[in-house]
Amino acid sequence: MNTQDKMGDLSSLSRRDFLALSTGAAVLLATSSPFVNLIGSALAAGGHVLPALPYPENALEPYISARTIGFHYGKHHKGYIDNLNKLISNTEFADLSLEKIISATAGKPEKATIFNNAAQSWNHAFYWQCLKPNGGGEPSAAFKKQIEASFGTLEACKKELTTAAMTQFGSGWAWLVRDGQKLKVIKTANADTPLEKGMKPLLVIDVWEHAYYLDYQNRRVDYVSAVLDKIINWDFAEKNL
C-alpha cells in the first residue's frame, strides 16, 4: 500500500492523527474515505480543519453563485468548525473524528451544542462533494440500475429527493442513502444526519436557507431543480455506495 492509500479523511482527523499520518507525505485522501477526493487545508493549532472546496468558488455558476459559496463555505461551514474546536478543547472529544463525536453526542441534550457543530461540519463537507461543475445528467449505467431497483426509475428517485427537500419544514437536508441493501430518500432537520440512524449517506441537498437564499430567495424548488438537473455529482454518490 502506498502513502497515498494510507491517507484518511482530513475533515475528521484530530491534530494528533493528522501529524501521525502526514509526516513526510502528501496530504491526499484514500478512495475508501467517506469524502472521496476531499483535500484538507493546512492544520490549525490543534483541532479539526476546514477542508478545501473541491472546485473554485465560482465553478457552480450560474446555478450557485460565488457569493453564495463565499458565505456558505467561508462563513457558515468555517464557523461550525471553529465553534466545534472551541467546544471540544481539553475535553474527552478533543482527539476524536467528526464521526465519533457525532456518535458519542447524538441524542444527548446536554451535548447538543457539540453534536450540532460536529454534525454540521460533517454535513457541509459531504455536501460540497455532492456538487460539481457540469454535473446532473444521468449516473453510470451500473449505478442507474441500482437506483431503478429501489425507485423504479431515475426520475422517480429525483422526484423523491425533490419532495423531501420541499417538504422539510424549516432548515435541514434531503438525503439519498443506503439502508441495508436498499436505496431510499430521507430528510433530516437542522444538523441531524443519517449516520446516527445507521444509514450510509450517498448524496445530500442542503435546504438551509443560507444554501440558496442569495440566489433564489424563497424559490427553494428552483434551487433544488438546478442542483438535481445541472450540478449533482452522481459519481460521488456511486463511490460512496
Q: Which residue has the cell 455532492?
A: 130
Interacting residues of 39 by C-beta distance below 8 A, sequence separation 6+ = 10, 27, 28, 29, 51, 52, 54
Q: Are 234 and 137 in contact (CB under 8 A)?
A: yes
Rounded Cα–Cα distance for residues 62 and 111 (Å): 39
**Residue 200 amino acid letter:** K
Alpha carbon of 198 to those of 14, 177, 194, 225: distances in Å? 23, 10, 6, 28
- Stated length of the chain: 241
* 76 among annotated binding-site residues: no
Residues 35 and 54: beta-carbon distance below 8 Å: no
Q: Is 124 annotated as a binding residue?
A: yes
Rounded Cα distance, 204 and 237, in Å: 9
210 has binding-site annotation:
yes
Residue 118 and residue 98 in contact, taking contact as beta carbons nearer than 8 Å: yes
For 87, the enclosing helix (H) or strand (E) is helix 78-88
Binding site as annotated, residues: 72, 124, 206, 210
Binding site as annotated, residues for Mn(2+): 72, 124, 206, 210
